[in-house]
Structure 1
Amino acid sequence: MYCQTKRYCQPVNCAPLRQSGAALITTLLIVALITITITSMAAKQQLSIQRASNRQVQTQLHNLLSAGEKFAMAVLNRDRKDGERNNSDSTEDFWAESLPPVPVDGATVEGCVIDLQGKFNLNNLTDENGETDPEEFQRLQRLLTALNIESSKAEAILDWIDPNIDATGVEGAEDDYYTGQTPAYRAANGPMVSPTELLLVKGFRVVDEGGLDDYDVLLQHVATLPTGTAINVNTASAPVLASLADYMIELSDDIKVVDDEYWQEYPGCPGGGGLLDSLINSDSGDGSSDPSDPDIDAQSEEGENPEDSFIYENIQSFVTDAKGDTDEKTLQGVIGIEVASYYFLTRVTVTRDESSLTQYTVLHRDNTGAIRTLRRSRGSL
C-alpha cells in the first residue's frame, strides 16, 4: 500500500492516521451529544420552574377568588341581620357598592354583588309542573316590546323551557328546528341554568359580532332563577317594570328606582364604589375593611343624602305609585313583585401580571341571612 505525498510515494502504514481521525470524530460526537443533553436538561428545568410559578400564581388567584366570594357572603349576611329599611334591598345598600381594584400580595382583586331579582326570571314561564304560566308569558312579551325586540321571540324562549315537544305559535321551535342547525343540537325542554342559553334559542344566535344584538340587549334584563321568584321593584330596570302590565310602559320611567345605566355593563360590575373607595383609600392605607365594623355604618350615613335616595320599603307604596289614570290600571293584588331579594350574583376578578380570572357565583340568602351557593362558573355566566 502506498501513501501519496506532494513529492513522492513510498510504502507506508497509514492506520495511525485513520485511527486518529476516527477518534477526533468520536470526540466531536460525544461533545455534541453532551451539549444537546445539557441544553435539553436546562430547557426542561426552565419549563419546570415556569410551570411551578404558573401553578403558584393560579393557586393564589383561586384563593383570592374564594376570599372575594366569602367577603360578599359576609356583607349579604350582615345586611339581612341589620334589617335596614324594613329588610328591603336596593342599590343604596352596602352590598351594592362595587369593589374597586384592591392590591393584595402582588395581585389585584375587584368585584361586585348584583341583585338577580331586579331582572325578569325566564324560568317563571312555566310553573313547578311544567305548565305554561300565561301571565309570565305576557310579561316576557311586554319586556321584549319595551326593548324593541320582536315579541314573537318569546315563543321560542318558552319552547326551550317547557317540557313538551310542540312548537308554540309561529316563531316557536323544538327539536325539529334545532336538529337542522349546524352543528345540530336539541332543545333543553327544562329550566335554564344560565341566561347564556339564550344563544342557543332560535332568533338569538349571534351572527354578527359588531354592535348589540337582541341577545346582548335582553341579557341585561333577564335571569335564570328557580320558578316562582319575584321581581324586586327597587332594583328592576324600567323595561322590567314595564313588563308588569300594559299601562306600565307609560309609568315605568317615572317610578323606577335605578338608572338605566346601572345594568348596561352586566354581567360586568355597575359603576360606583363610592363608599368602598373612601374606605380603601382612607388614612389607614391597608386596603382592608371589615363588614362587621360599626364605623362603616357611620361613614355610610354621613355620605347619604336622603333627598337623593328613594327606596320602596313595602310593596304597597310601590303599588300606590304604579296606579294608572283609571281604577282598572292598578297592580293591586298582582303577584310576583316585592321589595326584598334572595338571589344574588357575585362577580370577582383577580389579576396578577398577565394572568386574570373572573368567577361568577349565584347565591341564595334566606330570611335569617344564611347563604348557600347555587352555582359557580369561571370566565362566563
Structure 2
Amino acid sequence: MTELPLILPPADPRTRLKARGAASRPAGRFEPYERLWEPDGWDLPEDEVLLRTEVSIEHPRSIITRNDSPDLAFDRSINPYRGCEHGCIYCFARPSHGYLGLSAGLDFETRLVAKPEAPAVLERELRRKGYQVAPIAIGTSTDPYQPIESKMGVMRGLLEVLDAFNHPVAITTRGAGILRDLDLLAGMAERGLVHVGVSLTTLDDELARKMEPRAPAPRTRLRMMRELSRAGVPVRVMAAPIIPGLTDHALEAILTEARRAGAQAAAMIPLRLPNEVAPLFADWLQRQYPARAERVLNAIAAFRGGRLNDPRFGSRMTGEGTEAELLAQRYALSCRRLGFDRPLPALDVTRFAPPPRAGDQLELF
C-alpha cells in the first residue's frame, strides 16, 4: 500500500476557479513559509474574484538550454515560456516554478512568463563562431503553443529564425496553435528540418477536460495530426504520460487512432510525479475521482519501486517491475502492428548556414 502524499492546504474560497487543474497554491520546496487561508466568518459571495492568467516578461541573455541526460535524445532545447496555461495536473514541469519563488499549483498555470526577445537572442547564438549544429527540441518542458502564444507569437518568431538558418527542430505540443504555422513547418519539412510530436493522453473527453483543462480536446489533437501529416510534416504521437489505473487501458486505442490520423511514429512514457507534483496530483484525484484515488496512486507506485517518482537515469522514463514490463510489451506489440516500430527520418543538419545580413560581404564562389 502506497503512503499518500501530504494533504494540501485548502483553497482560498474567495478565489473562483474556471478550467484550472490545481485548486490551491502550496508553497514551493524552496520557500520557508506557507500561507494558509483561515475563515473569519466575514467572507461574502460577492467577494469572490475569478482567477485570471497573468503574463510577465523575461529578458533572457541566452535561450538555448543544454543537457547531458542519457534519457533524452537531444542535447539542447528552448522554452519560450515559463509556466503553462493548459493546466495539466500531472505536468512534470510544475516544480520549475519554484525557482521563481512561485507555487507549482495555481501559480504554474496562471502566473506565466514569456520571452518575446527569444527569437533575437536565438539568432545571436546561432551566429556565434564555433556553434555546432544539432536538432533543437522545443516543448520539452512547457508547451510552446499554449493559449498565450496566439498573442505573444514567440514560437512563431523562433520558427522564422530556425527556418532562415536551415536549423533542424523537434517540437512537442498539444496546442492547436501549431496549425497557424503550417506555412513555415511545411517548408521546413520539405528540407528535412522538422518533426512534431503531438501529446495524446486519453480519448475520453470528460477525463481530458478534468485532467488538462485548457488543452485542446482529444479529437482536436487528432485533427492536428491529420493536418500536419497532410502538409508533409512527420508526426509522432506522444502517448505520455500513461497513467496506471486511469489511462493505461486505452494505450492501444490511442495509438490506433493516432495512426489513422497520420502519425508515423510513437513514444510512450509512464507517469512520474516529481517533488510538488505528487501532492497536487493526489489532491486532484481526491477531488475528481475520490473512489479511485488510492487505487490509482498504488498503481503508479507499482511502476516506480513503491514510490510515486523515480528520478534515476534509465528508469524514470520507463518504470520498473512487472506492471511496467507488461505495459512495455503491449506498447511494443501495438507499434509493430501499426507500423510504429520504425523511427522518423533523421533531421538534416547539413543545410545549416547563417543567412547573410544587410551589409555582409557575399561569397564570390
TM-score of the pair, normalised by structure 1: 0.22
* Larger relative contact order, structure 1 or 2 (CA cutoff 8 Å, min sep 6): 1
Whichever of the two has the greater Rg, that structure is: 1
TM-score of the pair, normalised by structure 2: 0.22
